[in-house]
Structure 1
Amino acid sequence: MELRHLRYFQVLAQTLNFTRAAELLHIAQPPLSRQIQQLEDELGVLLLERGRPLKLTDAGRFFHEHSTALLEQLAKVCDNTKRIGLGEKTWLGIGFAPSTLYGVLPELIRRLRSGEPLELELGLSEMTTLQQVQALKAGRIDIGFGRIRIDDPAIIQTVLTEDRLVAALPAGHPLLAGPISLRQLAKEPFVLYPGNPRPSYADHVIALFESYGVSIHVAQWTNELQTAIGLVGAGIGVTLVPASVQLLHRDDIGFTPLLEDNATSPIILSRRVGDVTPGLNHCLKIIDELLPR
């Protein structure tokens, strides 16, 4: 299947007339008919009812709707690629761990999308810190927001803030009367995230408990913060989350503070060594303005 098949079908689906579609496409009718037949052969279904008048089949209506959206997205990608290549627009790829969305990141994204003073095309990718480092080195993103310190000579990491950790527990749990200690919490079954890839925030949590001479029993591994929160609400276990996650309001879970002062998790900015592109510099300037003095 080639792009011309999609474009030809889009015009034909709009006109429902082979002669008119061929005129709009500036081709003869027989080649258009052959291209549509090739498309149907490849898909293995009929897209058109070839009667009078010409009609789209159910499969044809579905294919028209989704191929139209695909072509519109492709046109946007091509336009932005051209504008970036001509220097009219700047591309900035951002990787982020889900839990960092409860800090300065949402406001940063709003400011970057304002188009002042630099018009940016943002690419947002959810990924762990380890995946961010790999994506930075491959050039797929320009900046990352994660929670794990990774030693790599090609990457500069900066701690933006240290988030206090709190315990997330099922509604009605007796420990919600807190504050509580890590030793108390270690007696509870744990929902831990992310399971992969490692090292990750999960290793940070395990190391925190081990620094107090206790270990935790992991009742359930999951890869997403939201999934972990949902499983806590279902009574599977408890978990540790950054305090900023308390912005979530759910009836089936509660949060309680920890007694230990070092029970924190950093938000870490990662970027390539020597990267001084305008988009990145603009992003760093906004971050500096947003962070508390």
Structure 2
Amino acid sequence: MELRYLRYFIVAAEELNLTRAAERLFIAQPPLTRQIKQLEDELGVQLFIRKPRGLELTIGGKHFLHQAYGIINRVDASIKSTRQVALHRKKTFSIGFVPSVFYGQLPLMVRRLRRNKNLEIVLHELKTQEQIEALKSGKIDVGFGRIHIEDPDVDQKVLFNEPLIAALPDAHPLTRRVPCLQQLSEMPMVAFPAGPAPNFSDMTLGLFHREGLQIEIIQQVNDLQTALALVASGMGFALVPEQVKKLHREGVEYVSVADDNIRTPVIISRRTNDNPNAVMRLVNTILTEMVNNRLRGHYP
């Protein structure tokens, strides 16, 4: 199967109109129609339902579109990394991360990896679900997040569980004590991130719901910096991972939460059944050392 067939199919599936697809591909419509038909014959599956006003993907077509995206993305990533190696004689190692995990020990891992002059480290800020797709497409080699997502192509492991703390306006009375969830629930909450579930916001809200507590969401935002800015302005409080307290923000004070088991995991995601290369083995060694340091109470 030729890669151009996949690219033609993807454009046709996106446009759902052969005339517009042909225009995007800078080819005539009849050859595009023939090549789509040849692809269907080769697969033994009808990919489109032809209608008077355009095309509609079949169930098989929708499934194949997902697979085609993955194949093309992996090929493009391989081409890019090969060119980088040829030009710089460096191996590229790409890391996906959610911002809240990069205020603690993980930057130390990046720093140690960067000591290798033949290794180029590329960082991608991605939500956990985006990391899963990026791993499958080959865009990243490893991901660090906080949400467990079932996917047979990706292996996830909890590195450690981290306490959650409350970010409060610095003049608030609760900064002078160790508040419990009941006391926090009497304040408006700034939740993050916004977007599709599952996410960190769902996890923090679930802590209150499990205790039968109602919580008012005053604002839902996409990133931690915006959440802290709203806390500093006095709009409410936010629950954040403990390592975020390294991020000093004027007008914000961080306090522990009295309730037990107020924790959030730090999860590493890797492709299932990938044979670890030399770089991944080094990553695993560094992470084992970091986790052991946390267990002994040795923080960076």
Fold in common (TM above 0.5): yes
Deviation at 1:161, TM superposition (A): 1.5
SS of equivalent residue, structure 2 residue 268: strand
Deviation at 1:283, TM superposition (A): 1.5
1:128-277 residue pairs with structure 2 within 5 A?
A: 128-275=127-274, 276-277=276-277
Could you say which residue in structure 1 is the equivalent of 2:102? 101
SS of equivalent residue, structure 2 residue 162: strand
1:41-56 residue pairs with structure 2 within 5 A?
A: none
Q: Deviations over 1:62-102 (max 9, x none)?
A: xxxxxxxxxxxxxxxx9974452599422111000000011
The answer to whether the 8 A contact 1:148-1:200 is kept is yes
The CA distance in 2 between the partners of 1:240 and 1:128, in whole Å, is 18
Sort the Cα spacing of 1:99 and 1:115 in 2 relative to 1 into closer, same or farther, 3 A: same
How many pairs does the alignment contain? 214
Could you say which residue in structure 2 is the equivalent of 1:42? none
Q: Give the letter for the 2:278 counterpart.
A: P
Which protein is bigger by CA-based radius of gyration? 1
The farther-off stretch of 281-290 and 92-101 is 281-290
Deviation at 1:163, TM superposition (A): 1.0
The CA distance in 2 between the partners of 1:89 and 1:197, in whole Å, is 37
SS of equivalent residue, structure 1 residue 94: strand
The CA distance in 2 between the partners of 1:219 and 1:83, in whole Å, is 46
Deviation at 1:247, TM superposition (A): 1.1
The CA distance in 2 between the partners of 1:206 and 1:79, in whole Å, is 41
The CA distance in 2 between the partners of 1:87 and 1:219, in whole Å, is 50
Could you say which residue in structure 2 is the equivalent of 1:62? none
Q: Give the letter for the 1:232 counterpart.
A: V
The answer to whether the 8 A contact 1:91-1:279 is kept is no
Structure 2: gaps spanning 5 or more residues: 1-78, 296-300
The answer to whether the 8 A contact 1:206-1:215 is kept is no
The answer to whether the 8 A contact 1:92-1:120 is kept is yes
The CA distance in 2 between the partners of 1:171 and 1:87, in whole Å, is 49
Matched, 1:288 2:288: yes
Could you say which residue in structure 2 is the equivalent of 1:279? 279
Matched, 1:113 2:114: yes
The answer to whether the 8 A contact 1:130-1:197 is kept is no
SS of equivalent residue, structure 2 residue 143: strand
Deviation at 1:209, TM superposition (A): 1.1
SS of equivalent residue, structure 1 residue 157: strand
Sort the Cα spacing of 1:278 and 1:179 in 2 relative to 1 into closer, same or farther, 3 A: same
Q: Give the letter for the 1:209 counterpart.
A: F
Q: Give the letter for the 2:134 counterpart.
A: A
Deviation at 1:251, TM superposition (A): 2.8
Structure 1: gaps spanning 5 or more residues: 1-77
The answer to whether the 8 A contact 2:103-2:247 is kept is no
Q: Deviations over 1:211-236 (max 9, x none)?
A: 11113111001000111011100111
Normalised to the residue count of structure 1, the TM-score between the two structures is 0.69
Percent sequence identity over matched residues? 41
The answer to whether the 8 A contact 2:94-2:142 is kept is yes
Deviation at 1:165, TM superposition (A): 0.6
Sort the Cα spacing of 1:79 and 1:182 in 2 relative to 1 into closer, same or farther, 3 A: closer
The CA distance in 2 between the partners of 1:79 and 1:263, in whole Å, is 42
